[in-house]
Structure 1
Amino acid sequence: MTEVQLDDWVARLADDVIAEAKRRGTKPVCASGISPSGPIHLGNLREVMVPHLVCDEIRRRGHDAEHLISWDDFDRFRKVPKGIEGVDESWEQHIGKPLTSVPPPSGSAATSWAEHFRSELEVALDDLGVEYRGISQTEKYTAGDYVDQVLFAMGHRGQIDKVLDQYRTLAKAQPKKDQKLDADQQAAAEAAAEGSGAAGEDDGSGDGNYYPYKPYCSQCGTDFTTVTGYDDDSTELTYTCRCGHTETVLLRDFHHGKLVWKVDWPMRWAYEQVVFEPSGVDHQSPGSSFVVGKEIVPLFGWERPLGPMYAFVGIRGMAKMSSSKGGVPTPSMALRYMEPPLLRWLYARKKPNQAFDVALDSEIQRMYDEWDGLLRKVSGEKGQPGDIAALARATSTAAGELPQTPVTLPYRTIASVLDITTGDDAQAQRILTEVDPRTPVSGLEVLRPRLDRAQAWVAEQMPEDDRTVVRAEPNRAALQGLSDESSHALTLLLDGNSDDLTRIEDAWSIDGLSHQVYGVPKVLQGKAADFRPDRKADPETAAALGARQREFFKLLYTLLIDKETGPRLPTLLLAIGPERLRGLLSLR
């Protein structure tokens, strides 16, 4: 792909990473770390998308760059998440085991807990165009790839303990705050306390000697173990487990344990020569792993990577997401309702330190409106540099373009039509081809994948109160009780007037029906159908027209769907069809 000059936060970070890699004499290596301890949610996705976007920008410039995703599947199983189908309290027996030694939820085709949650994200990343090299920490540790690093850490445990002890003292000296935490602060505190990975794990300290290594017991498989002795020359290590098992092993040959997190992470920075790795608030607070790692990683012959802190990603209507709780929205779930370029755009347009929400409720329609507005703005050469860059990163990678919907009818329109037609493809196609005469829709295929995403959203996420059921028969009692003005309003809607409202059949498009339904209250007010009130110069006229418009809309909704509100009226009328509409609004 030819080089494209993009100007945004991604480009600026890419500049820094390229310069830093050159200074260190290595290629740009960007890293992410994901612990498959539970559902890998949309907050975790930021851990992947920030390095991906930066690495992809470096590749766009023709550099050889690599994005690593380290699957922290050798982490301990810390707690049983709530609300996960196929999981009950019996999984508590596996607490303390590696995630790859814990069975998957019942009914899963995966071989382990880690594989079950990792594989779902892998599919989503493929859809999102994320190119990376995955590294299983279980495979690395059990294959003995880190033996030299483990022995080195044990041999330098005194120096490591001294570094960590400074931060232990610092943490104890931190004054407690009396004020209440706001929602974001509380979310950060919860993340630090329970985390999705190893942020909250101990650093290997104890009442006796310090050992930065934690073995998994050969008898029960858990890490409820205590190292009681270690000989540097022979690498002979003795540990006891709470299950009663005691064992002495040669650490150079024993590959069933791992370095504690605050040593493990900087060790891997050096092993993989990582230049860039962002992390969340839970890893960057005072005394946490990213901060402490700066002083530990030089022992392994490296420097801490460039690593901006990223803010949380939320879901509208949900508290801060944690993968230790079941039911949190995952990337795969989001991709059921939105196209990959849109989800990429949400992460590309915000700087890492800016929090944002992903909407899977009715606000997804507004989000799509923003996206479509961006497409129009950039195609019309009115986009700012940041808009152009965000759109380019959303719709393409260094490897090429991502699939997009050929004909982009508004998501809210498609959703409304699908809701009303309830799975009738022929009916949906008839209506959608009439939405906009300027946008030819030859068949439903040109509306995919947006159509499929909207269909899934209507079926699974649309609030029950928002669903639309059109009356089968006219509401005769309501029609007979109409005032003269209301009857005249319906006549204007259906038959127009001699001036600027036409017969409803001749206005059969979204634009035409919009003109018709918004024009009727204006004509009733003695104005032209295309009259635009000046709210500042004549607020009384504007207010009166607004009240008349609300009453007219309420009348239509009541007669058509037995509600006072509903989907946008032009879309609703288009879905009903002119013949049926006349039948529902007329006494015959």
Structure 2
Amino acid sequence: EEAKSYHNYPLIRVPDPEGCHDNWVEHYWEDFGNYLDEFYEGINVVYTHELYRYNDEMKRFIIDSIVMKEKIREVINKYRGRTKLPADWIPFEPICEKCGRIGTSKVLDVDLNEYKVKYRCSCGFEGKTSMENGKLMWRLEWVAVWRVLNVSFEPYGKDHATPGGSRDSCNDLALNVFGFNPPVGLAYEWVGYVKGGVDMGDMGSSDFIGFTPKKWLEVAEPEVLKFLYLLNPPMKRIVLSLERVPLYVDRYDRAERLYYGIEKATIPKEKLENIVKSYVYSQKEKPPKDPPYQISFLHAVALVQTIPDTDDIITEAIKRIEKTTKRKLHLSSFEIDRLKRRLTNARNWLINYAPHHYKISVLEKLSEDIITKLDPKILPLIKELYANFQSITWEEEEIKRAMINVKRRDRREEILFFKTLYLVFFGREYGPRIAPYLSILDKEFVLNRLQETIRVLLLKINGADLPKIF
């Protein structure tokens, strides 16, 4: 009900609903504007209300618009269907000095020398105000911003791109009324948003669907989001969810490996070029000459679950990585900062967005309940995995490759294979990709657990009573 009382108010004049900022704009801009430099340095934010008050070129544009109002009305009416602008139309909307609303007043007269308009508001008030206190109709404002800010390129939503739509009408105004070329345009599809597995529709500020840059940066690097936008054609709808961050980061990390030639491409050349270029253009600076140290997002998710909140996350992480891989890490300051950010993002994601099955704890020993659930038919595959693990460097990609090389006859056997691994290490029948989680465990622990599993399965095959196994 309180919000309704501010209907037709300029947002800059609507109070902050939380009471912590001067107005609505400052409150909701904070989680957006304060984080833009993370995505691209040198962004200059322009507030339209400041253009109206302080920009002389904007004032000249408004005066020109009023002088050429007949020509403007003629152009706009070509695109308005049945509802035409009336003959007495003035292309300016003042803010009522009594009720504070905009779009509720009729301009009665214009004094260009004083830069003022006389108006009558639907609230009954009649007065005279400076044209700094109001705005152009939105189509004209769009054209004004192009000229005043010298815009050369501007993407816009697909709703503006329909033939004979708003973009066409603004192009017409720029070319045929104000005599300048409109910016090069690029239409784009809207971005969908999924929360809790439910498609919430397209992101939008008016109905608060989506996430802010602040929320994204809590769980992933800015380059990842830029990469996702660059990778997809502008008119292809993409759907984003903070719950799917590991998937997005994996795609970005793979692009990085392809860029450095660490991973060999098995995709068409054109697709590879698109991936690599999207990676390069997502960077704020030129990528380092040598490939930086990389751990997967899920590896980080697994790792942070072994590090208490009170510990120095980067020191402990490096210590644990070195312990499990049995080799020393020599990281640059850039790589340390990058690793710390990945770990911090992973912890935030785990706390705020991760499905339950990503939260794991390692079984200290095989309980009777777990042993009862083990199927002896899987023994040959566990033996093969044990043999594969013995000879590898203890790193996520090597672990993954060793598991892939275990020969499964069919989908049923594959499901049973992974079910067994989840059971003997984490006490559950399913979970996230297991390689990142195994990589944080000591290799000897994993081999010993597999040996124990093999022994138990052999005893079950030989008909030993379960109580005698313990």
Q: 1:124 aligns with which of 35, 39, 42?
A: 35
Tell me how far apart the structure 2 counterparts of residues 129 and 107 of structure 1 sit (CA, whole Å). 30
Tell me how far apart the structure 2 counterparts of residues 228 and 162 of structure 1 sit (CA, whole Å). 19
Q: CA deviation at 1:241?
A: 1.8
Q: CA deviation at 1:135?
A: 2.0
Q: CA deviation at 1:454?
A: 1.7
Tell me how far apart the structure 1 counterparts of residues 234 and 189 of structure 2 sit (CA, whole Å). 6
Inter-CA distance 239–225: structure 2 relative to 1 (3 Å threshold): farther
1:499-547 Cα deviation digits (max 9, x unpaired): x45669x87543564466566x64xxxxxxxxxxxxxxxxxxx534x43
Partner in structure 1 of residue 465 of structure 2: none
Does 1:308 find its partner at 2:186?
Answer: yes
Does 1:289 find its partner at 2:166?
Answer: yes
Tell me how far apart the structure 2 counterparts of residues 503 and 274 of structure 1 sit (CA, whole Å). 62
Partner in structure 1 of residue 68 of structure 2: 156
- TM-score computed with the length of structure 2 as normaliser: 0.78
Query: Equivalent residue of 1:554, what SS?
Result: helix
Partner in structure 2 of residue 97 of structure 1: 9
1:154-181 Cα deviation digits (max 9, x unpaired): 2222221121212112x77xxxxxxxxx
Tell me how far apart the structure 1 counterparts of residues 118 and 94 of structure 2 sit (CA, whole Å). 10
Contact 1:95 1:222 in 2 (8 A): yes
Q: 1:454 aligns with which of 339, 343, 346?
A: 346
Farther-moved stretch of structure 1 (471-480 vs 306-315): 471-480
Q: CA deviation at 1:140?
A: 1.9
Inter-CA distance 501–236: structure 2 relative to 1 (3 Å threshold): closer
Partner in structure 1 of residue 409 of structure 2: 543
Does 1:342 find its partner at 2:221?
Answer: no
- The one-letter amino acid paired with 1:248 is K
Query: Equivalent residue of 1:238, what SS?
Result: strand
Inter-CA distance 231–395: structure 2 relative to 1 (3 Å threshold): closer
Matched pairs, number: 433
Inter-CA distance 151–502: structure 2 relative to 1 (3 Å threshold): closer
Inter-CA distance 466–517: structure 2 relative to 1 (3 Å threshold): same
- The one-letter amino acid paired with 1:315 is Y
1:207-240 Cα deviation digits (max 9, x unpaired): x721211000111211143225215676763322
Q: 1:218 aligns with which of 93, 97, 114?
A: 97
Does 1:373 find its partner at 2:277?
Answer: no
Q: Percent identity?
A: 22
Inter-CA distance 313–326: structure 2 relative to 1 (3 Å threshold): closer
Contact 2:324 2:442 in 1 (8 A): no
Query: Equivalent residue of 1:210, what SS?
Result: coil
Q: 1:139 aligns with which of 42, 50, 63?
A: 50
Partner in structure 2 of residue 360 of structure 1: 242
- TM-score computed with the length of structure 1 as normaliser: 0.64
Tell me how far apart the structure 2 counterparts of residues 303 and 320 of structure 1 sit (CA, whole Å). 32
Q: 2:212 aligns with which of 307, 330, 333?
A: 330
Q: CA deviation at 1:379?
A: 1.5
Inter-CA distance 155–339: structure 2 relative to 1 (3 Å threshold): same
Query: Equivalent residue of 1:314, what SS?
Result: strand
Partner in structure 2 of residue 414 of structure 1: 300
Tell me how far apart the structure 1 counterparts of residues 177 and 373 of structure 2 sit (CA, whole Å). 86
Partner in structure 2 of residue 393 of structure 1: 281
Tell me how far apart the structure 1 counterparts of residues 382 and 343 of structure 2 sit (CA, whole Å). 33
1:461-505 Cα deviation digits (max 9, x unpaired): 111244223345532234267565567876776xx5xxx45669x
Tell me how far apart the structure 2 counterparts of residues 410 and 153 of structure 1 sit (CA, whole Å). 56
Tell me how far apart the structure 1 counterparts of residues 364 and 326 of structure 2 sit (CA, whole Å). 28
Partner in structure 1 of residue 461 of structure 2: none
Contact 1:283 1:289 in 2 (8 A): yes
Partner in structure 2 of residue 272 of structure 1: 149
Contact 2:188 2:234 in 1 (8 A): yes
Query: Equivalent residue of 1:307, what SS?
Result: strand
Partner in structure 2 of residue 299 of structure 1: 177
Tell me how far apart the structure 2 counterparts of residues 216 and 257 of structure 1 sit (CA, whole Å). 5
Does 1:476 find its partner at 2:357?
Answer: no
Contact 1:415 1:458 in 2 (8 A): yes
Farther-moved stretch of structure 1 (278-287 vs 157-166): 278-287
Inter-CA distance 225–434: structure 2 relative to 1 (3 Å threshold): same
Q: CA deviation at 1:554?
A: 1.1
Partner in structure 2 of residue 67 of structure 1: none
Contact 1:421 1:427 in 2 (8 A): yes
Contact 1:436 1:511 in 2 (8 A): no
Written as runs of structure 1 = structure 2, the 5 A alignment for 1:200-211 is 205=85, 209-211=88-90
Contact 1:309 1:353 in 2 (8 A): yes
Tell me how far apart the structure 2 counterparts of residues 284 and 515 of structure 1 sit (CA, whole Å). 48
Inter-CA distance 438–302: structure 2 relative to 1 (3 Å threshold): farther
Query: Equivalent residue of 2:80, what SS?
Result: helix
Query: Equivalent residue of 1:212, what SS?
Result: coil
CA RMSD in angstroms comes to 3.7
Does 1:556 find its partner at 2:421?
Answer: yes
Query: Equivalent residue of 1:229, what SS?
Result: strand
- The one-letter amino acid paired with 1:285 is T
Query: Equivalent residue of 1:277, what SS?
Result: strand
